[in-house]
Amino acid sequence: MSRTGRANLPLRVAPGQDYREVTVEHHLASRLTGASEEGRLRDDDGPSSRAGPPGRGT
């Protein structure tokens, strides 16, 4: 679940008003669904991310 928080700001901010020492936080949360990746396009920057590090052939 994502959430936001803020400190030292009124509920409604006024345009053109300066506010000092404020904090605004946004925490983004996500989860893996385990759904199949079938039909998903690969990145154009090279091999699949499942491959090992570059330069380490077997």
Q: What is the mean pLDDT of residues 1-23?
A: 93
Given a cut of 60, whether residue 28 has pLDDT beyond it is yes
Cβ atoms of 22 and 8 within 8 Å: the answer is yes
Average pLDDT value for the chain = 77
pTM: 0.41
Cβ atoms of 4 and 27 within 8 Å: the answer is yes
Helical segments of the chain, H only: none
Percent of the chain residues past pLDDT 90, beyond the cut: 47
Cβ atoms of 48 and 37 within 8 Å: the answer is no
Where does the pLDDT of residue 3 fall: very low under 50, low under 70, confident under 90, or very high at 90 and above?
A: very high
Given a cut of 80, whether residue 4 has pLDDT beyond it is yes
CA dihedral over 33, 39, 45, 48, signed as positive or negative: positive
